[in-house]
């Protein structure tokens, strides 16, 4: 539909035992419940990016189509050695112009206390060069392994915090997504 905003929710790692898949799925489900929003869940494990760069042979046409279709992005990145994973960078690098004038929000995750804040801070530098426009609110999942039940739902003691944070964040992301859509 013309007025529907399509959000690509990206999980930023291919690590087999990744905890980040839990907040990514939670955020995708949260967005699916918002009116006028369609969600595409983007898992770098589902794509094939041979070599580096954005030459035609270095792209995956399925990812290209998702980036073309998305009106906004929500990237969920773990912190690996104070930065974000190489697989996320490789996937983001495969496109360029299609990101232009689209807003992006971030979630950071970590097993420790800092919630991946250094990963998000370093990701900002790269993302700015792609043409994506970062919103000023992030959400963090420190001690991510303690936040979710096995079925993927958020434990009671964390629910209010994350529902409040995500409501505020999606208000801003959707506002910018609608605005940018009118000028693209």
Stretch that binds ligand FMN, among 17-25, 33-41, 129-137, 149-157 (CB under 6 A): 17-25
Stretch that binds ligand FMN, among 52-60, 88-96, 108-116, 153-161 (CB under 6 A): 108-116
C-alpha dihedral over 12, 60, 47, 89, to 10 degrees? -20
79 binds ligand FMN (CB under 6 A): yes
Report the residue number, 79 or 95, with the smaller CB distance to ligand FMN.
Answer: 79
- Using CA atoms, how far residue 15 sits from 25, 54, 78, 172, in Å, is 16, 23, 10, 30
3-class SS at 103?
Answer: strand
Contact (CB, 8 A) for 132 and 102 = yes
139 binds ligand FMN (CB under 6 A): no
Buried b / exposed e along 5-28 (16+ C-beta atoms within 10 A): bbbbbbbbbbeeebbbbbbbbbbb
Considering the complex, what minimum distance in angstroms separates the CB of residue 108 from ligand FMN?
9
Report the residue number, 145 or 167, with the smaller CB distance to ligand FMN.
Answer: 145
77 binds ligand FMN (CB under 6 A): no
User: How many Cβ atoms sit within 10 Å of the Cβ of residue 1?
Assistant: 7
Report the residue number, 146 or 163, with the smaller CB distance to ligand FMN.
Answer: 146
**Chain residues in the site for ligand FMN (CB under 6 A):** 13, 15, 18-20, 78-82, 109-112, 114, 144-145
């Amino acid at each position: 539909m013309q007025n529907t905003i399509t959000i690509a929710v990206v999980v930023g790692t291919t690590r087999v035992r990744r905890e980040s898949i839990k907040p990514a799925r939670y955020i995708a489900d949260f967005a699916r419940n918002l009116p006028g929003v369609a969600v595409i869940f983007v898992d770098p494990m589902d794509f094939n990016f041979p070599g580096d760069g954005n030459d035609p042979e270095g792209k995956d046409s399925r990812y290209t189509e998702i980036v073309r279709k998305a009106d906004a992005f929500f990237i969920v990145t773990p912190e690996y050695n104070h930065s974000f994973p190489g697989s996320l960078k490789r996937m983001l690098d495969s496109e360029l112009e299609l990101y232009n004038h689209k807003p992006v929000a971030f979630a950071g995750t970590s097993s420790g206390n800092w919630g991946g804040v250094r990963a998000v801070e370093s990701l900002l530098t790269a993302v700015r060069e792609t043409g994506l426009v970062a919103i000023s609110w992030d959400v963090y999942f420190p001690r991510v392994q303690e936040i979710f039940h096995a079925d993927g739902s958020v434990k009671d003691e964390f629910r209010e915090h994350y529902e409040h944070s995500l409501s505020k964040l999606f208000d801003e992301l959707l506002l910018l997504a609608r605005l940018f859509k009118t000028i693209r």
